[in-house]
Amino acid sequence: MRESLRNLFNLRRGEQAPVLVAGLFFFCILTALMMLRPARDALGMERGIDSVRWLFIGTAVVTLLVNPLFGWLVSRLRRLHFITATYAFFALSLVGFWSLLVFAPGAVGARSGQVFYVWFSVFNLFVTMVFWALLADRFSSDQGKRLFALIAVGGTLGAIFGPWLASRLAEPLGTPALLLVAAAFLLLAVALAWLLVRIRSDAAYARETPADARDSEVRIGGSAWGGFRALFSSPYLMGIAGYVLAMTIVATFIYFTRLQMVAAAESDLDARTGLLGNIDMWTQVAVLVLQLTLTGHIIRRFGLAVALAALPLATALGFIGLAVYGSFAVLILLEATNRAVQRGLTRPAREALFTVISREDKYKAKAFIDTFVYRAGDVVGAQTEGLLGRLGLALGGLVAVVVPLALVWAALGIWLGRAQQRRVAMPGPGG
């Protein structure tokens, strides 16, 4: 039975334990995030959709300011210590928001809702970035291609479990208590991160020598600005940044299209929160189905290039269908498909790109790409969508932008997949 499961999920001897721990790690992170996300979106819409576009700009600025601080932590602390510090900071922030809601409810208003929106958007990116950076550091390129999709199943289950748990606890415990529950999941994630690193000493699956393992626990060193310099000096990292930028621009188009349709369908805050939560839950089910059935086989058989090109092509076709039919049902189908392909196929493939770069770049350059570049794409997408709306172009205008962008995006994905394969054969990570 154990051998059959290993064959089914393409596991090799000794890999079950780290994959299980990593999956539980991701489960805790996504549970915490998805418990709070519907409230974030609903609060952001309180002053209208145009205000959300400005919140995107605020979020991009904050992520730019936080990156040097994170780079400083990476330079000064050991790997597990800066990971712990990152998660502990966000857990304490949740306790702070809980204190505000419980002890000073009169101070809670539209402005504090906007602060929470920006904070959550930064929190969302950093906790997932740190998780994937640790995985890129912990697993080899071959393991990343085989195992990252399977590990991502844990996150998908957390994304389904989070909204379900929030719906069950909100009434008996109250909404503020959800913040403490999310903080508890973050602390559990820290414990799993330590366990994931510690179990690597098992010779059955460790890919490093004992000397390498000891070296991985010393301070990475370097400059707080090392990620900026690495990005702009490496065509490979610039290519990843361009891929992420295109992806987030298009994802933001989908996001604002959804907000507009939800705003037209529901005017009450609670009703909007419930509707957004239901969309999140059912799209995660679609992600889970893809992860369990096709992802590993596609990456293994066709390679990273095809996996990275799949999302741009699927998104372009989805937008064409949305422009033709323009219904809420088609939007849900587009979003479900986009998230399923992105999280179930493209995200594991994209994270495998980072397995062939240096340890310092895995944390510093990756942090800059996955946070600031990601949010810069949000800003560009939000402002472009708003401009097209003011010009009266709506969905037709979006399609005219999305289709050519998707072709460039797909070509970049194919180049990155081939570049990663070339780097696998190199004696060491390059720039």
Q: Output the pLDDT for position 43.
A: 60
pLDDT tens across 370-401, in order?
999 998 998 898 888 778 777 766 666 778 88
Task: Give per-residue pLDDT as tens, 61-115.
Answer: 999 899 999 999 999 888 999 999 999 999 999 999 888 878 877 666 666 677 8
Residue 110's pLDDT is 63
Domain-by-domain residue ranges, the chain? 9-424
pTM: 0.82
Q: Which of 17-26, 143-152, 287-296 is predicted least confidently?
A: 287-296
Residue 296 has pLDDT above 70, yes or no: no
Rounded mean pLDDT of 254-259? 77
**Higher-scoring residue by pLDDT: 156, 243:** 243
- pLDDT score of 45 more than 60: no
pLDDT tens by residue, 360-370: 899 999 999 99
- Whether residue 188 has pLDDT greater than 80: yes
CATH 3.10.450.50 for the 9-424 domain, yes or no: no
Question: Given this model, what pLDDT does residue 44 score?
Answer: 56
Confidence of residue 289 (pLDDT cuts 50, 70, 90): confident
Query: Tell me, what's the pLDDT at 431?
Result: 44
Query: H/E/C letters for each residue in the chain?
Result: CHHHHHHHCCCCCCCHHHHHHHHHHHHHHHHHHHHHHHHHHHHHHHHCHHHHHHHHHHHHHHHHHHHHHHHHHHHHCCHHHHHHHHHHHHHHHHHHHHHHHHHCHHHCCHHHHHHHHHHHHHHHHHHHHHHHHHHHHHCCHHHHHHHHHHHHHHHHHHHHHHHHHHHHHHHHHCHHHHHHHHHHHHHHHHHHHHHHHHHHHCCCCCCCCHHHHHHCCCCCCCCCCHHHHHHHHCHHHHHHHHHHHHHHHHHHHHHHHHHHHHHHHCCCHHHHHHHHHHHHHHHHHHHHHHHHHCHHHHHHHHHHHHHHHHHHHHHHHHHHHHHHHCCHHHHHHHHHHHHHHHHHHHHHHHHHHHHHCCHHHHHHHHHHHHHHHHHHHHHHHHHHHHHHHHCCCHHHHHHHHHHHHHHHHHHHHHHHHHHHHHHHCCCCCCC
